[in-house]
C-alpha cells in the first residue's frame, strides 16, 4: 500500500525532496505502508498549478461541475469497501463503522454539494444592481486523521462545486484513504490543476499552505493550538480562514428525561470512533438526586462495548490512532483519579485481553467537578465525565463554562423545554434528544472551537466571494 507520489497538475509526481515515512496500523503497532513527506517546494508547485487552473475552472458551467461531482460520487460508491478498509488499517476504525459511517458520511458531502449546486442562485437582483457569488480562488485544505475522508470531503466537495481549485494536505497519520479518493477524483476527469494533493506534516506543508501568497483561503480542521498558528500565517496575506477546532461538549440530561436511555445513549455517543471526535458529548450533566442511577446505566453501556480486531465485523471499538494519543489519554485518566473523581467504569491501562495495539479501556468518571482536567481539556479518547447539577440554570452555566463551543446535547421529555435550554448553550450545533446526523445543517463552533461553517449551503457559501454590480438595471 505504499503511496510515495503526490497528485499535482493532473499527474502523480515525485516529491521535490524524497522523504518517506511509515504508516502504522494502530491495532498491531506495525508499519504496513509508506508515504512521502512533502516540502514548501511541493506546496509551491501545487499552488501554482491550482492558480493556473482557476481562471478556466471558475468559468465552467454548473452543468459541467455537476457532471464531475456525479462521476466522483459514482467512483466513490464503487470503491467504498476499499476506502473503508483503508481507514480501518490506518486509524483503527472498526470495519463496520468505517463502512457504515466513516466512508458513507464522506460520500454524503459530495452528494450534498451537488444538491446545493443544482439549486444555487449565483446572481440575484438587489436594490439598484446585482449581487454575484463568485468562487474565492485557490483553497488550501488541511485535514485531520480522526475522520480522514469525512473531513476531506466536507471541504473538497463544496470547493469544487463552487468553482474553486484546491491544494489539499491530509493527515500524514491516516493518508491512504485520501490517496484512494485522489484516484477517484482523477478518474472523474477534472481539468488538470483543479485538485492537488501534497502529503506532509503540519509544521512544514501545513504552514506552507497557510502562508502561500497564491492561496486565497485556508480551511483547517484540527486542534485549537494549530488553528491559531494557521490563522497567524494566513493573516500575512489576508486570507479567508475557516476553522473547525476543538470541543468539550456538554450533554445536559434534564430531570424529566428517560434517564437510563439518555445515559446509555450518551455513553455510546462519547465512545463513537474510540472517542476521537471533536463534538463528542464528553461532559454528561445529570441531576444530583439521580447520579447513582446514572452511574449504573453508564456501567451497563460500557459493558456492551466490544473491543478487538477492527477488521472483525463484530468489533464496536478499535484502538486509538497512535502511541502519542494513547499516552495522552492515559495521562488524563490518571489525572481524574488523582483529582478525586469516582471511577465508575474502565480505568487506566489496556484491556486485559489485548496485549498489543493502542487500545484504551472505555472509562467513565463520576463526581467530576468543573475545575478538574478531565472536565476542561479535550481528551480525544473514550473518557466520559459525569457532573452533577441542582438547577437548570446551574446545568446551563456548567455547560457554557468552557473555552470551546462546538456542540451541545439536551435530553428532555418536553421538546419545548429542551429547545429553551438549547437556545442558551453557546455552541454552533445542539442535538435535541439524540437527534441524528443531518448533512444539510451547518456545523462549526463558537469561541475557541473555530469560525466559519461546513455542510450544506452554509459550507458552500464559505468558498464564495460576494460582488456587487451597482447600477445594472437592464
Residue 368's SS3 state is strand
Residue 258's SS3 state is coil
CA-nearest of 333, 251, 339, 262 to 293 is 262
| Distant-in-sequence, close-in-space partners of 16: CB < 8 Å, separation ≥ 6 | 38, 39, 41, 42, 45
Q: Are 220 and 242 in contact (CB under 8 A)?
A: yes
As a whole number of angstroms, the distance between CA 317 and CA 86 comes to 16
Q: Is 164 a catalytic residue?
A: no
As a whole number of angstroms, the distance between CA 331 and CA 345 comes to 17
Residue 45, H or E segment: helix 40-57
CA–CA distances in Å: residue 451 to residues 53, 140, 243, 244, 274: 28, 16, 5, 7, 26
Q: Are 6 and 42 in contact (CB under 8 A)?
A: yes
CA-nearest of 137, 145, 135, 201 to 167 is 137
Number of residues written out for the chain: 474
Catalytic residue among 90, 111, 207, 244: 244
Buried b (16+ CB within 10 A) or exposed e, 233-266: bbeeeebbbbbbbbbbbbbbbbbebebbebbbbb
Q: Are 333 and 347 in contact (CB under 8 A)?
A: yes
Buried b (16+ CB within 10 A) or exposed e, 218-232: bbbbbbbebbebbbe
Grid coordinates of 295: 452511574
Q: Is 139 a catalytic residue?
A: no
Tell me which residue has cell 480525544: 380
Catalytic residue among 139, 164, 270, 278: 278
Beta strand 6-8 with 11-13 is: antiparallel
The strand pairing partners of 250, in sequence order, are 283, 408
CA-nearest of 109, 80, 113, 86 to 171 is 86
Alpha helices in 120-251 (DSSP H): 148-162, 176-187, 207-211, 224-235
As a whole number of angstroms, the distance between CA 108 and CA 72 comes to 12
Active site residues: 244, 278
Amino acid at each position: 500500500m505504499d503511496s510515495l507520489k503526490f497528485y499535482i497538475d493532473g499527474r502523480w509526481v515525485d516529491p521535490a525532496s524524497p522523504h518517506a515515512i511509515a504508516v502504522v496500523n494502530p491495532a498491531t503497532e506495525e508499519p504496513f505502508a509508506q508515504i512521502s513527506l512533502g516540502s514548501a517546494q511541493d506546496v509551491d508547485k501545487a499552488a501554482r498549478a491550482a492558480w493556473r487552473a482557476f481562471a478556466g475552472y471558475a468559468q465552467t458551467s454548473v452543468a459541467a461541475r455537476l457532471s464531475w461531482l456525479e462521476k466522483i460520487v459514482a467512483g466513490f460508491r464503487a470503491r467504498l469497501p476499499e476506502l473503508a478498509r483503508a481507514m480501518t488499517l490506518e486509524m483503527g476504525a472498526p470495519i463496520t463503522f468505517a463502512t457504515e459511517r466513516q466512508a458513507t458520511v464522506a460520500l454524503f458531502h459530495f452528494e450534498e454539494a451537488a444538491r446545493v449546486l443544482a439549486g444555487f442562485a449565483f446572481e440575484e437582483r438587489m436594490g439598484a444592481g446585482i449581487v454575484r457569488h463568485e468562487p474565492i480562488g485557490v483553497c488550501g485544505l488541511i485535514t485531520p486523521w480522526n475522520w480522514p475522508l469525512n473531513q476531506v470531503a466536507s471541504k473538497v466537495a463544496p470547493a469544487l462545486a463552487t468553482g474553486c481549485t484546491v491544494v489539499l494536505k491530509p493527515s500524514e497519520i491516516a493518508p491512504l484513504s485520501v490517496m484512494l479518493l485522489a484516484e477517484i477524483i482523477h478518474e472523474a476527469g477534472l481539468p488538470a490543476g483543479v485538485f492537488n494533493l501534497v502529503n506532509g506534516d503540519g509544521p512544514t506543508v501545513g504552514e506552507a499552505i497557510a502562508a502561500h501568497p497564491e492561496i486565497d483561503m485556508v480551511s483547517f480542521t484540527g486542534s485549537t493550538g494549530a488553528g491559531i498558528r494557521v490563522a497567524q500565517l494566513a493573516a500575512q496575506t489576508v486570507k479567508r480562514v475557516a476553522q473547525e477546532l476543538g470541543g468539550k461538549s456538554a450533554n445536559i440530561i434534564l430531570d424529566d428525561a428517560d434517564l437510563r436511555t439518555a445515559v446509555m445513549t450518551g455513553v455510546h455517543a462519547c465512545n463513537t470512533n474510540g472517542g476521537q471526535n471533536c463534538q463528542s458529548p464528553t461532559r454528561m450533566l445529570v441531576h444530583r438526586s439521580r447520579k447513582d442511577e446514572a452511574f449504573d446505566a453508564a456501567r451497563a453501556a460500557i459493558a456492551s462495548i466490544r473491543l478487538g480486531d477492527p477488521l472483525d465485523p463484530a468489533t464496536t471499538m478499535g484502538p486509538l490512532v497512535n502511541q502519542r494519543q494513547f499516552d495522552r489519554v492515559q495521562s488524563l485518566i490518571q489525572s481524574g483519579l488523582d483529582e478525586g473523581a469516582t471511577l465508575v467504569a474502565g480505568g487506566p491501562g489496556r484491556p486485559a485481553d489485548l496485549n498489543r495495539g493502542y487500545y484504551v479501556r472505555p472509562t467513565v468518571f463520576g463526581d467530576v467537578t468543573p475545575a478538574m482536567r478531565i472536565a476542561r481539556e479535550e481528551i480525544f479518547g473514550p473518557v466520559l465525565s459525569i457532573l452533577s447539577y441542582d438547577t437548570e440554570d446551574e446545568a446551563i452555566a456548567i455547560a457554557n463554562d468552557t473555552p470551546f463551543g462546538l456542540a451541545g446535547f439536551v435530553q428532555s421529555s418536553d421538546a419545548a423545554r429542551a429547545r429553551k435550554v438549547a437556545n442558551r448553550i453557546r455552541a454552533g450545533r445542539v442535538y435535541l434528544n439524540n437527534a441524528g446526523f443531518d448533512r444539510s445543517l451547518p456545523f462549526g463552533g463558537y469561541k475557541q472551537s473555530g469560525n466559519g461553517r461546513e455542510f450544506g449551503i452554509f459550507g458552500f457559501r464559505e468558498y464564495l466571494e460576494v460582488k456587487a454590480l451597482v447600477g445594472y438595471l437592464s
